[in-house]
Amino acid sequence: MINLGLKTAMIGALAVTGVFVTQANQPAQADWDICKNVRIKVVNKTNKSIRLVDLDYIDMRIDRKRSENISNRVIEKGKSYTWNRNLEKVKNTEIKIRAQYQTLKSNGKWKWKPKNKLSAKKKCSGSPSFTINIT
């Protein structure tokens, strides 16, 4: 009985080691597939503050959304905020940027459900710049 447990443990250890060896031999994220120095600007053209809660980029060739981690950011009316990011797996690909934001209710609290606003479609090459005007 103890022998069976020992065999099982050894087989499990070998399986885990095999996974680590396999992953160690995988190439790092290909630098050639990263769209570098992407400038994303969100402009609040409304008459009140908005809270930006998420930024995503959409790969138009396969219709896949990838999220960019950001901290929630309040953008006052008439103001803007800009991020510079490197976007993975979309170099030389047409993409759109999606901003998700919340608006204020009459009681001064943020509406729970965010709204979406998309940028224009643009090829991600060089150091592209995207502007999203929230109106």
Q: 73-126: per-residue pLDDT in tens?
A: 999 999 999 999 999 999 999 999 999 999 999 999 999 999 999 999 999 999
Cα–Cα distance for residue pair 102/42, rounded to 1 Å: 13
pTM of the shown model: 0.74
Judged against a pLDDT cut of 50, whether residue 21 lies above it is answered with no
Cα–Cα distance for residue pair 35/64, rounded to 1 Å: 16
| CB atoms closer than 10 angstroms to residue 33 | 13
Residues of the chain with pLDDT > 70, as a percent, come to 76
Give the sign of the dihedral formed by CA 127, CA 46, CA 53, CA 51.
Answer: positive
Q: Is-contact 65 96, C-beta < 8 A?
A: no
Token pair 């800009």 is at which residue?
A: 82
The per-residue pLDDT for 33 is: 84
The single-letter code of the amino acid at 49 is S
